[in-house]
Amino acid sequence: MEAALERQSELFKAFGDKNRQKILHLLRGGERCVSELLPHFDILQPTVSTHLLILEESGVLKVRRDGRRRLYSIADRRIYDALDSFYDGVSKLTAV
């Protein structure tokens, strides 16, 4: 049980930042490199790269090399099912 709680905590940390949530939303359309993600943010490229690294290290993203580019994509499409369920639950809790 302790290992499962640790994994859940790691995922909540990964999902707990609005910039990382936005990255996940943008990657629904397929893999992208940091330069393709950057125009969607008002933060610097190193900061976007840090968010990508956090998502990668948590196992949410996978990365493949294409020449000099690193292309990011979702490691498991079931992540979106889990996030959609979570967002649906949150919207019900916050509905007035």
Q: How far apart are CA 70 and CA 34, in angstroms?
A: 8
**pTM, to two decimals:** 0.87
Half-sphere exposure of 47 (CA within 13 A, CB side): 11
Instruction: Give the relative orientation of helices 45-57 and 18-26 as an angle to the nearest 10 degrees.
Output: 80
Work out the number of other CB atoms within 10 angstroms of the CB of residue 61: 24
CATH number of this structure's domain 2-94: 1.10.10.10
pLDDT tens sequence across 8-65: 888 889 999 999 999 999 999 999 999 999 999 999 999 999 999 999 999 999 999 9
Tokens of 2: 């302790």
Domain boundaries, the chain: 2-94
